[in-house]
A and B are shown apart, each in its own frame.
Chain A
Amino acid sequence: MRRILAGLWVGQAILLAADFATTANWPSYGGTHSALRYSSLDQIDTANVHKLAPAWAFQTGDKESGLQATPIVVDGVMYLSSASNWVFALEGDTGRLLWEYRFPIAASFEIPYGRQSRGVAVGNGRVFMGTADNHMVALDKKTGRELWRVNVEDARQCGCNITGAPLVVKDMVITGVTGGDSAHRGYLTAFDARTGRLRWRFYTIPAPGEKGSETWPGDSWRFGGGATWMTGSYDPDLDLLYWGVGNAAADLNATHRRGDNLYTSSIVALDPATGTLKWHYQEVPQDVWDYDATFELILADLPLNGQTRKVLLHPTKTGYVWVIDRTNGRFLKAWRFAKHVNWVSGITEDGKLLNRVEPEIGKTKLVCPSAIGAKNWNQGAFSLRTGLLYLPVQEICNDVTAREEEASEGKPFIGGSWVMKPAPGEKIEGYIAAYDPVTGERKWTTPATTWILASILATAGELVFTGDPEGFFFALDARTGKRLWSFQTGGGHRGSSVTYSVNGRQFIATPTGWGSIVGTIHPAFWPDRPAPRDGSALMVFALPREERQ
């Protein structure tokens, strides 16, 4: 009997093998484990998108920090988490609530990196969520009943927690942590999906004696940052788990961590069975700008110098997209996607950073992009239909000043200060742009009224969807950037839209409701524009029934 059960588990694991595009389901945070945020669904297209209309809506009732999650859809059921770590299972075509779960967080608990949840992961018959107080929790997919929970690390001690969505790989669930601006040492942790037992932990900063530890003088490794606060990707053919590792700490002052500071501001590729490092590529050695490298790792097979290469596209705060060979971690190229970039004057053909403009103690310097980044965690999309990479971009600089600071475990460890401002003689601006992923050539730019802090969704209907802070959810022509449809949802957009189909009907779902710390800066940047509306609702759209073929 036990043997049969074990066999079933393996069977379920095999079903998780990922593809590039999503189809009827939206199974994982980035769509598939390749994180393209691209769907092959094409029922809704450029010709009929103007008829797109609301199908249903769902109010989470959670009044905290907006709705930032990516809904997960498996076999017609949507799994959604809200900022206070509530989870909902909804019928994908009707919005009917199937079950609801609320993770208990003590009211007195001081949440280190904000109350926000970017989504759940689904697999092995379970729904997994990381929590604001640093637990991983597993629910029964059918009933929402809690099956297990485990404290990843004491949040009161580490000053860290989980805001990102977990990733299910085979029979494991893998999660990162925040803590990159605290005196903390980051890691990834894998748990057995069925029992919650620890499988492995990979520290993003090597301990003394381990390979790479020579890049951390003295005790600096203990509190060196390297958070893993967003979600990684997985290539089932290569059997490699990829994760972006955040900035080194103290963010702006490297006086006590002279060296490359491996593996901060790097991409790491791990053996998912053991958590062993297979390769790494460090984009920003000795990061002194808070240029977190934790964002989406888009896996694509692209033509490069006459060959099809298995690459990983990595758009980051730096204003550059890194193109890395995902089989071995070799640097292929980096191209600039933002206009205002001065932290380096360029990147050489072999990946070296030129003329770094580093913060200094007691001196203020204007650095672009800012610590908010030329893009933040809200994700771009790569369309297999158009071959273009779509990014939400903002042009913001900051005055940075480094300062001496003592590390105290779990406490903020920033080593300086920054003040956000536009580039000289310019205004702060945001836009959506389409790029050739290999050459970096910009094909079109569609300005936002302010900026775009929601993710982008691309579909085979040659459409690109996203939402703005003022509540408009809209569709652009993926080839031209022309706005084809928009709908006022009533709440600012800070989440990630998805598409899926149930019984042959394609749906587009978007979270609405403003929130997050970066979100609270908005009125300071655009005092004359209407303030984004809070809220926490999901809006779902489809073509009217008679319009479908």
Chain B
Amino acid sequence: MRLVAFFLLTAALAAAADDKVARGAEVYRASCAVAYCHGPEGKPGRAPALGGRSFQPETVGRIVAMGIPNTSMPSFAALLKPEDIQAVVAYVVSLNGSGPVGSKPPSSSLPADASRGRDLFFDAARTGACGSCHELGGKGKLVSIALQDLAAAHWNDLRQVPSPGVLTAQPAGEPPFPAVVAEKTAKLVRVYDLSSLLPVLRTFAPDEVTLSPGSSWSHAAPAALYTDAELTAIGKYLSWKK
């Protein structure tokens, strides 16, 4: 009899915990997953992914209630009922797993003089900024040479960087263009067209395009987006990265 009562109590407690998590899921959907902040079911959104982590309820509870200063994570203390905060905490903890979902970029500190160079390298206000072709520190696009391999001598004059990898592509029925080969197989040829500010990855059948070595293209073309002083700052950033 007592055993039965124990089972009933355990079942009731488990059901209550399930209810709390279920209610928490509702609160999460209405308050945390709006505006594409935290993704549904703890998946990556624009805010950190909450699934697969190893959160303590106290930590989640404090952050939900207090928010994180100077970020988009607000305080929900005045917005949600205390029982709903508890429910959403239970829900987030229920998403715990072995490790974080998705990777977090490592934080780094940069000397002040290189910092301006980095901003210019990835300048969103400049269509065709360095980052449109070069990847560095987990940002930008890898079209052209890995900058780690670039000889330090060239950091001082980014207009004169040699570009031996740039070829001339001649598609059938189209003017030729400066190109960097991305992939070449028996079935297809993929080249980046460098003739516009944003590199275009073109795909051809092998008989649709002829590639020949050399090109009239020069790194002075993209470098023209920047002033001398700006190029010097970018050079400082590249030196620091090395």
Contact = CB atoms under 8 A, between A and B. Distances in A.
Interface in B128-170: 128, 131-132, 138-141
Interface in B224-239: none
Contacts of B39: 114, 517
A2 B175 CA distance: 9
B173 A156 contact: no
Interface stretch (A190-198, A377-385, A498-506): A190-198
Contacts of A364: 78-79
Given A110-B44, A112-B46, A222-B124, A195 B200 contact: yes
B202 A151 contact: no
A113 B40 contact: no
Contacts of A415: 72
Contacts of B202: 147-148, 195-196
Nearest to A181: B35
B33 A182 contact: no
B186 interface: no
A409 B123 CA distance: 10
Contacts of B25: 523
A517 B49 contact: no
Contacts of A524: 26-27, 29-30
A309 interface: no
Contact of A417 (B44, B49, B79): B79
B27 A406 contact: no
A13 B195 CA distance: 23
Contact of B36 (A146, A181, A207): A181
A436 interface: no
Given A154-B139, A413-B72, A417-B74, A517 B198 contact: no
A405 B72 contact: yes
A401 B200 contact: no
A524 B34 CA distance: 12
Interface in A1-35: 1-2, 5
A416 B79 CA distance: 11
A525 interface: yes
Nearest to B71: A405
Nearest to B68: A405
Interface in B165-189: 173-174
Interface string A268-283: 0000000000000000
Contacts of B49: 110
A419 interface: yes
B201 interface: yes
B47 to A, nearest CB: 6
Contacts of A414: 35, 37, 72, 74
Contacts of A406: 70-71
Among B27, B36, B40, B203, chain A packs the most CB atoms within 10 A around the CB of B36
B139 A157 contact: yes
A521 B78 contact: no
Nearest to A523: B26
Contacts of B197: 198
Interface residues of A, number: 67
A361 B199 CA distance: 44
Contact of A112 (B36, B67, B141, B203): B36
A222 B122 CA distance: 13
B46 A159 contact: yes
B23 to A, nearest CB: 9
Main secondary structure of the interface of B (DSSP, over half): loop
A371 interface: yes
A226 to B, nearest CB: 13
A23 B30 CA distance: 41
Contact of B34 (A195, A197, A418): A418
Nearest to B76: A417
B122 to A, nearest CB: 6
B153 to A, nearest CB: 28
A129 to B, nearest CB: 14
A520 interface: yes
A197 B200 contact: yes
Nearest to A197: B196
A419 B80 contact: yes
A524 B138 CA distance: 37
A371 B36 contact: no
A145 interface: yes
Given A154-B131, A185-B125, A404 B70 contact: yes
B102 A412 contact: no
Contacts of A372: 34
A364 B131 CA distance: 41
Contacts of B122: 154, 157
Interface string A89-122: 0000000000000000000101111100000000
A152 B35 contact: no
Interface in A415-439: 415-420
Contact of A1 (B33, B34, B125, B173): B173
B29 A523 contact: yes
Given A157-B122, A404-B70, A412-B72, A148 B200 contact: yes
Contacts of A5: 173
A520 B33 contact: yes
B46 A411 contact: yes
Interface string B36-67: 11011000111101000000000000000001
A108 B103 CA distance: 7
| Pairs of residues from A and B, 4 with the lowest C-beta to C-beta distance, nearest first | A417-B74, A196-B200, A412-B72, A197-B196
15 contacts: A5-B173, A110-B44, A112-B46, A154-B132, A157-B122, A185-B125, A195-B202, A196-B201, A197-B196, A198-B128, A417-B76, A419-B79, A517-B39, A517-B45, A525-B30
Given A5-B173, A184-B124, A523-B25, 18 more contacts: A112-B36, A151-B198, A152-B198, A154-B122, A181-B46, A182-B46, A401-B79, A403-B67, A412-B37, A412-B46, A417-B74, A418-B35, A517-B45, A518-B34, A520-B29, A524-B26, A524-B30, A525-B30
Interface of B: 25-27, 29-31, 33-37, 39-40, 44-47, 49, 67, 70-72, 74-76, 78-80, 102-103, 105, 122, 124-125, 127-128, 131-132, 138-141, 173-174, 193, 195-203
